[in-house]
Every structure is written in structure tokens, then in C-alpha cells.
Structure 1
Amino acid sequence: MAADVSLSPDARPKARAGAAPRRRRRSPYPTWFFLPAAIVYGALFVVPTLASLWFSLTRWTLSEAEFIGLDNFRQFFREPFLVQGVINTLIYGGLTSALKTVLGLLLAVLLTGNILFRGTLRTLVFFPVLVSTIGVGFAFEAMMHPTKGAINVALDAIGIDGPGWLTNPSLALLSVALVDVWKGVGLAAVIYMAGLVSIPADYYEAARIDGATRWQLFWRVTVPLVRPATVTVVTLSLISGLRYFELIWAMTGGGPGFSSDVIASVIYKQYQAGFYGLATAGNVILFVLIALIVLPLTWWFNRREVDL
């Protein structure tokens, strides 16, 4: 009679415990392959970042630097117009990011549907992304002139008194934000279109069979399945909005007064005035602000995606 050589339940764990540990899969590329990328990254990011941290703690010129500790940071938060720049940065970044996300998704849904002149409309939507930011700023500065601008002239023709888009302190930042959205929403739409065309048609067919309306198809099928595109659009738009400078400087120069100043324009003004240490401290504050907002937001998005 053949002997029973099967392991008993008590013996199996011991056999597993005694087994040799599985080796980690080694990369097919030698470690030194990564050296060129590491050198470029270190030279273009790590070294300038560490240098900025050091110079933010000094009072420096092009020829000398005097260590003064945290005085630059204390002065930065002591000046009212500098704090106003931080508040405007948060408003500008949040507003432009939200509008680009919502409008980009709606445009993408429209431009992936069966509509006339779809290719032409896609080109028109994306065209502002390719135009120079400074050129757009100067063009809209002229168009938003309170008396001679094309926008107010058109409004006056239909009996509406146009506001001072760039001269009213309560409207200046909002006006620039709207121009920024007009210029950048095309990129958000393209990212969303790439996400929409990757959704299998079977999901929509199954939902229609179950009696879903168009709104339900959009809210319960489209929005959840383009979540990766939403994460990309929100992250890129928020980073861009928090560090934006060119359009604001071209249209308002941070004015009237300090009503449309953001951190980037405040930093530029400090460099112009020769306060290099204070301006460098502002750069560090801007870097930390973006990191404190974007990193937790990215972690939350990724966590929600895993939960789904």
C-alpha cells in the first residue's frame, strides 16, 4: 500500500515558513543609467531650491550676502499688501481652476458629440492656448478699456453702461481670471476629450436600457469615469493659477493699487525695488503654499480613486 506523503495541516505552515524568501525582481538596467537624469534634476531643481532657501535667510546683493535669519519672512507677513497678495493668489488659483474644470468638461462633452463643424470648433477652442500670454494680456487690456474698449463700446450700443473692468478694484482680479479661463480652458477640454473617448460605449448602452436620462448618463456614467482626467485638470490648473504672473502683469500690473496683486507679482516688484532677500523669501513662501495645497489634494484624489 502506497505511503501517504501529503502534508498534514500542521505541517503546511512549517513548510511555508521554511521556504526560501522570494527574491526581488532586479531592474534590467544598471544603476548608472539613472545618473544623467539625476545630475540634470539636481542641477536644475535641487541646487536652485537649496540656494533659494539660503538666500531667503539673508540680505543679499549681486556681490555680497548678510545672514539675517527669519527677518525676511517676518517682514513679508508684516506688510499688508504682501498678505493681500497671498489672499489674491488663493482666490485667483481656486477660481480659475474651478472654472477650467467645469467648462472644460462641458466643452469636451459637446465637442465629442455628433455636432456640425466639430473639427473647426475644436480648433477654435484650443487656439487661445497657442497664443502668447503677453499678447493676450495687451489685447484684452485694450478691449476692456472703460471708455474706448470694444467690450464697453458694444455694451453701450445696446444701452448698458460697461463697468471699469480693470480700473475697478473689486473687478480687476476677476476680469483677469476670466481672461485666463478663456485662454486655458482649451487645454482642459483636450484632456477631458481624451478621457471621454476612452470610455467604452457599453456603459452608456447599458444605462440607456435601464432607462437613464441624459442628465443621469452625464452625472452617473461620464463624471465618475473621467475622474483621472479631472485629477489632471484640477492639479495642473491649480498649480498654474497659484503661480500665475504674466497675464496679471500685462493687464493690470497688480493694480489698481494692490487689488490684483498676487504673490508672483509682489515678488517681481520686490526684485525691481532691490529687496532681493525679501523677494526670495516670497518665492519660498509661494513654493511652500503650492506644496501645502497640491500635495494633500493629490493624495486625497488618489485615495478616493482607490476607494472607488
Structure 2
Amino acid sequence: MIRNSLYIILISFVLLSGCAKTNTASQDVPEFTDAVAKALALQKEGNFQESLVWYAQALKIKETPQLRNGAGAALLSSGSTEAALKEFDRALTFTPSSPDIQANRGTALFRLKEYDEALDSFNKALSYNPAHAQALNGKALVQLTRKHYDSALILLIQAQKAAPEKALIKYNSAIAFEAAGLLEDAEKAFTQYIKETPKDAKAFNGRGVVRMKLKKYAASAQDFDNAIALSPTNGKFYYNRGLLWQKQLKYTDAIKDYTRSIAYTPDNGTTYVNRGNTYFLLDEKEKGCRDLKKACSMGLCEKLEAYKNINACIE
């Protein structure tokens, strides 16, 4: 029995709130105006570390909630989630009723897997602005983690209406449709997202998974090929393509992709289970037992025990 572990990656989006007007005295200071302009420009370019340098310069001259929020957004985008949360908390001491800052705080908490607190922040944002797209999206992601798929879909549809230009909401909608078992809807949502964002490897991987479940094997293979072409060192994509080959009884191809997956993602025990199974199907029992023993050392012993019970693997 092949383990049906599939990889689709959840992502959320951050609403980068620009710096609102500060008091006139601060605006008249050229150093302040210059620092703010450079921080925003660098942030827009994706140069978050340099952006943070200029946020710090501006904050030395004048602290505002907009600057704290902007710095938090830059930190969040650069992966410094805990530091970002501190900035959002500081910003909220000035403007606790800001839906943008509450939503950004919720996004940081979601990434830290503090789901109850994240939900509280998203709900606060929505209490101030019921059509706040980021808060709707974030709340939907919390519901997805709790497997409340109907609620997640309702929220994501509302988020799409509030911000149809936000492509990542379509991506998250595809995730929710797939989780709810609405595979045709998921395929359509992924396709819409890919049209807008044709270089996102995760989206091709996600659609490939959906198409595999729909038994559209040729289309699924093409999606995995595209995902791998865009991100050739992502072991999860090779794993999914290996599973596709195995479903089609293409065992040699499956072995190759599982091996590639292990090279790039060596800590995934499920790949060893699947490759071990495939070796048995090719009558390469020694290699199969070796893989299953490796999987067992990683906590996945069920398949090894099954083969031991029929004396196919001996200590």
C-alpha cells in the first residue's frame, strides 16, 4: 500500500501598509523624509534588510505606528517573524483599532502557529473593517489548519470579492477546495492563479496533485515537470512525481524520483517507505528492506513490521 502523503504548501499574504502622514514638524526634517522614502522604495523592491536600515533611521527621528508597521512588514517578509510581531505590537499601542496592523499581527502569529491569538487579531481587524481581505484570508487559513473547510471557503470567497487583484487568495482557495474534496474547483482555482503568476512552482505542484487525484495523469506529469523546472532542488516535487509514476506502475521512474527527493529532502521518512515498497515490486528485496529500516529509524515502522511478519525482511 502506497502512502498517500502529498505536498501542497499553504501560503498567506501580507498587506504592506504604506506610511501615513506624520506630523508637520517631522515632515519638514529632510533626513526623516528621505529615510522614509528610501525605506518604502527598498521594501517595494524586495530589499528588506536595507529597507530596515532606513526604517531604523526614520524611527530615530520620529516614532509613528505607520513606521513600526512598515518595519514589521519588512521583518515578516524577510522571515524574522518574532521580531515582526514585536513591531506590530508596538504599532498597536498607538493605534489599536487599525485593521491593517491587526491583520499583519495575525499573519505573524499564524506563521508562529499561535492560531488562537492569530484568530483573535484577524477578528479584531474584521470588527473594524468587515471587508478586510488580508484578515479574511488569514482567518480562512486558521480554519484550514483546523479542518473547518466550509468556513475557510466562505471566508476566501469573501476575500476574493474584497480584493480580486490579490492572486494569492486564489491560491489559498485552491488549497481549500482540494482539502474539501472539490477537486474540479481546486483545479480551476489553481489554473486561474497560474495564469496570473506563471512562475510559482508551488502552484504547478498543487495543480499536479489535484490532477493526479482526478486521474489526469499526463496533465499531472506536465505540472510536476513545470514545478521542478522552476524549482529543481525541491525534494517534495520529485516525491509527488514519483508517486505519480508509481500509480501508473512505472516503477523504475518512481525509484529515480524518490531518490532525487531523498537527495534534496533527506528527512522525509515517507519517501523511504515508498521507495522501499517500489523496490519490492521490482523484486529488489535487499534494497527494499534497507529503505524500510531507514524509514523505521525515522519513526515509520508499520511497513517494515508488515514485511517482517511475512519473513520478507529479516534483522
TM-score > 0.5 by shorter chain: no
Structure with max Cα Rg: 1
TM-score, scaled to structure 1: 0.24
